[in-house]
């Protein structure tokens, strides 16, 4: 069974940093896609960044060079380094992983940016 699990969220002040991690599965390997999405209250879920197994990467425009995604597909793990966080980054951050054509979502980790 696949159950992506995120970690690393929390409360930080504006300008601070967090690193999110996601392990897609502890037993199933061979994922071809992993990505980060977020959803703020009252807003739609949006792509933050994603990566495929050939290391092709995409970023949303709003990260403005602040975030960096990296992956270790041998360990079913994806990371999101977030720097220069702003209150507008407050959201639940979700991990998405794909095995072939099957898509799996984590339950999310809360990121709150507030002074």
Per residue in 12-35, pLDDT tens? 999 999 999 999 999 988 999 999
With 0-12 / 13-18 / 19 or more C-beta atoms within 10 angstroms meaning exposed / middle / buried, residue 79 is middle
Local confidence band at 54 (pLDDT 50, 70, 90 cut-offs): confident
Is residue 99 scored above 90 in pLDDT? yes
- Are β-strands 10-12 and 109-113 bridged in parallel, bridged antiparallel, or unpaired? parallel
State residue 1's pLDDT score. 77
Local confidence band at 11 (pLDDT 50, 70, 90 cut-offs): very high
Name the residue among 6, 21, 14 with its Cα closest to residue 78. 21
State residue 23's pLDDT score. 96
* Exposure string over 50-75, b if 16+ CB within 10 A, otherwise e: bbbeeeeeebeeebeeebebebebee
State residue 55's pLDDT score. 86
Per residue in 57-98, pLDDT tens? 999 999 979 999 999 999 999 999 999 999 999 999 999 999
């Amino acid at each position: 069974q696949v159950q992506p699990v995120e970690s690393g969220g929390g409360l930080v002040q504006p300008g601070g940093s967090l690193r999110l991690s996601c392990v897609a599965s502890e037993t199933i390997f061979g994922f071809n896609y992993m990505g980060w999405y977020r959803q703020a209250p009252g807003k739609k879920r949006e792509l933050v960044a994603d990566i495929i197994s050939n290391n092709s990467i995409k970023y949303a425009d709003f990260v403005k060079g602040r975030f960096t995604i990296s992956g270790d597909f041998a360990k079913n793990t994806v990371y999101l380094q977030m720097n220069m966080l702003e209150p507008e980054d407050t959201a639940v951050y979700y991990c998405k992983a794909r095995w072939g054509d099957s898509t799996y979502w984590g339950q999310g980790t809360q990121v709150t940016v507030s002074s």
